């Protein structure tokens, strides 16, 4: 994977490193071209690497090549960099936030006029923005925009701006008093700008979200405000998709995601029409998780997840099942109107171009996105109904038009053949579907492809989710038995070990110490960071205790604990003596 595909086929010339604490077999990693272990484990794997070099199971050339790539990166990183213009970068971030926002729904209330008599801004995110993730995505901003003060600056002096927090920004919880305060602020308003989304503790790396729902407090607030007479604009701040069963009861929904330090400025620009909502959904937003094919086997067992849904994920599931998404992949509204014409395919075979004339027939400048999907009408193997193969965005002034050209090549029509280990194209009729989203086709054009490729037969799957027999046929072997928790090993988790009394005591100690270390690295860590650390420690392999300790915990100590928990107390004692004789080398766990 790293050498043949990444470097040889794709031409990658950089360095490959592990995710934090993800090294499992350092010797196999070096052989494969895994250059750098991060963070430094203070030499935890060094004895194994040296022994492998001595006995010839690891080639010195493999080590040299990894070292050379590390040195090459260091040399590039040492080059002088020009000083950055923080204000210019902030302005660029604001433009990017607006361009990435997706207008999911709009009854015509947007864009807002800055001369409205009264605007009610509801939601603590207007004062305490949710603008970035936790963990590796958490950065130090140069400054952070807030929607409420920016909106007050943007509107006319005669406009009254009322505000109510509505909920706790850390938890999303509300109270009857907070809801009543929000309704008083909304009374008599020309429009309500309602800031909702996911508080940081609900989503982060290191743990799965419990559901796609907004916090109950946010939903309660939405329902209460939707029942009052003023139009409601919901402004969403969240890292992943959320359920929006309430979307039909508000007047507009603007999905702003996690827009970065200038995200509130970008949202403001879109709300008042100073910028267009330039984004399109890169995922489908379903009505319910339970309707999805993947939900039938997820999360599965602690040590096994079966992906029996195959290609039936995202828009491919909605196409195959006929179950519509709440908001389809590729969806996104504009503040202007477009008409498409003269849609055609030029060329023969697999090297073709799709062309369309796009005209802005509205009264504002804006952008439209032409999306091209390909459907294989006659494929002999399991394949999605259609697949996105290209798209193009065009910005047009009112009354102007442009021709959009999207190139397709052999890969656009190909399917992966497991037996050939290659992308093959079957001869036959393909549909080239041109649309505004996966669910909004404007034109479907038949296109003939000739080919001598023959796909290897594939076991059939009758439904969206493979049965036991079908799944075993696809695997080419029996479904693996779920690995037992015991005997414990380096890739066991603290949750596994907590089946024992000693493991529960050990788990409590490890989590407590891990949180202390988090406080040292992240002063006053928020609840999201604490949840991420706690979950990562309990659900990650226990070898991570060594790799993330900066040399404080040797493998011998972990192996001794595992031996004891497995009832091999003699081995445990020998390992403890060995660990005590081994000098500890501590390094900053954040360094390489």
- Among candidate residues 482, 484, 480, 481, the one with its CA nearest the CA of residue 566: 484
Say which residue the tokens 């999306």 belong to: 371
Instruction: Give, in order, the Cα–Cα distances in Å from 345 to each of 147, 189, 341, 375, 445.
Output: 45, 51, 13, 14, 8
Say which residue the tokens 């004891």 belong to: 564
∠ Cα 384 412 2 (to 5°): 90
Separation CA 146–CA 232 (nearest Å): 20
Strands 401-408 and 160-164 come out as unpaired
Strands 118-122 and 191-197 come out as parallel
3-state secondary structure of 412: helix
Cα 114 to its chain centre, rounded Å, is: 35
Catalytic residue among 8, 19, 25, 295: 19
Q: Which two tokens stand for residue 471?
A: 């799944």
Separation CA 577–CA 276 (nearest Å): 67
User: Does the annotation count 19 as an active-site position?
Assistant: yes
Separation CA 483–CA 477 (nearest Å): 16
Q: Is the peptide bond before 487 cis (omega within 30 degrees of 0)?
A: yes
Separation CA 492–CA 494 (nearest Å): 7
Listed as own residue / partner, the contacts of 321-326 with beta carbons closer than 8 Å and 24 or more positions apart are: 321/291, 321/293, 321/464, 323/286, 323/291, 324/287, 324/439, 325/284, 325/285, 325/286, 325/287, 325/439, 326/243, 326/244, 326/245, 326/247, 326/285, 326/286, 326/287
Residues marked as catalytic: 19
């Amino acid at each position: 994977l790293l050498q043949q595909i990444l470097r040889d086929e794709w031409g990658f010339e950089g360095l490959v490193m592990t995710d934090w604490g993800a090294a499992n077999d350092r010797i196999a990693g070096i052989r494969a071209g895994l250059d750098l272990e991060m963070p430094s484990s203070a030499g935890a794997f060094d004895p194994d690497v040296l022994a492998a070099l001595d006995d010839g199971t690891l080639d010195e050339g493999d080590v040299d090549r990894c070292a050379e790539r590390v040195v090459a990166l260091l040399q590039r990183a040492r080059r002088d960099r020009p000083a950055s213009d923080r204000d210019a970068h902030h302005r660029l971030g604001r433009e990017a936030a607006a361009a990435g926002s997706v207008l999911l729904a709009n009854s015509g209330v947007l864009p807002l006029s800055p001369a409205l008599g009264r605007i009610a801004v509801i939601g603590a995110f207007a004062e305490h923005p949710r603008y970035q993730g936790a963990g590796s995505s958490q950065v130090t901003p140069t400054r952070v925009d807030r929607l409420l003060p920016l909106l007050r600056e943007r509107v006319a002096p005669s406009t009254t701006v009322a505000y109510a927090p509505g909920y706790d920004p850390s938890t999303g919880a509300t109270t009857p008093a907070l809801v009543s305060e929000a309704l008083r602020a909304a009374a008599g308003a020309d429009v309500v700008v309602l800031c909702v989304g996911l508080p940081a503790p609900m989503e982060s790396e290191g743990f799965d979200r419990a559901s796609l729902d907004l916090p109950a407090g946010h939903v309660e607030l939405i329902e209460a405000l939707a029942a009052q007479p003023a139009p409601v604009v919901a402004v969403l701040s969240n890292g992943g998709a959320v359920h929006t069963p309430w979307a039909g009861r508000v007047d507009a929904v603007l999905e702003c995601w996690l827009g970065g330090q200038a995200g509130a400025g970008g949202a403001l620009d879109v709300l008042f029409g100073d910028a267009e909502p330039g984004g399109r959904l890169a995922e489908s937003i379903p009505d319910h998780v339970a309707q999805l094919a993947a939900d039938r086997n997820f999360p599965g067992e602690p040590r096994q997840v079966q992906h029996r849904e195959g290609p039936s994920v995202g828009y491919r599931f909605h196409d195959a099942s006929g179950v519509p998404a709440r908001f389809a992949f590729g969806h996104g509204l504009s503040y202007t109107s477009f008409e498409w014409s003269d849609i055609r395919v030029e060329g023969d075979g697999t090297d073709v171009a799709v062309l369309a004339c796009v005209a802005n027939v509205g009264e504002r400048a804006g952008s439209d996105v032409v999306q091209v999907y390909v459907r294989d009408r006659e494929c002999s193997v399991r394949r999605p109904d259609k697949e996105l193969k290209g798209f193009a965005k065009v910005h047009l002034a009112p009354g102007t038009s442009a021709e959009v050209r999207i190139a397709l090549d052999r890969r656009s029509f190909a399917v992966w053949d497991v037996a050939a280990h290659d992308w093959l194209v079957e001869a036959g009729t393909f549909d080239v579907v041109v649309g505004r989203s996966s669910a909004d086709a404007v034109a479907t054009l038949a296109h003939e492809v000739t080919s001598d490729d023959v796909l290897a037969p594939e076991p059939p799957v009758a439904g969206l989710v493979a049965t036991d027999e079908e799944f075993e046929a696809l695997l080419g072997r029996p479904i693996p038995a779920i690995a037992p928790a015991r005997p414990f090993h380096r890739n066991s988790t603290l949750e596994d070990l907590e089946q024992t009394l000693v493991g529960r005591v050990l788990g409590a100690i490890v989590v407590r110490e891990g949180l202390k270390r988090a406080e040292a690295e992240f002063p006053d860590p928020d609840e999201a960071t604490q949840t991420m650390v706690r979950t990562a420690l309990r659900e990650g392999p226990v070898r991570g205790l060594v790799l993330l300790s900066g040399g404080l915990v040797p493998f011998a100590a972990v192996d001794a604990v595992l031996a004891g928990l497995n009832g091999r107390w003699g081995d445990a004692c020998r390992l403890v003596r060995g660990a005590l004789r081994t000098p500890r080398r501590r390094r900053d766990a954040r360094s390489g």
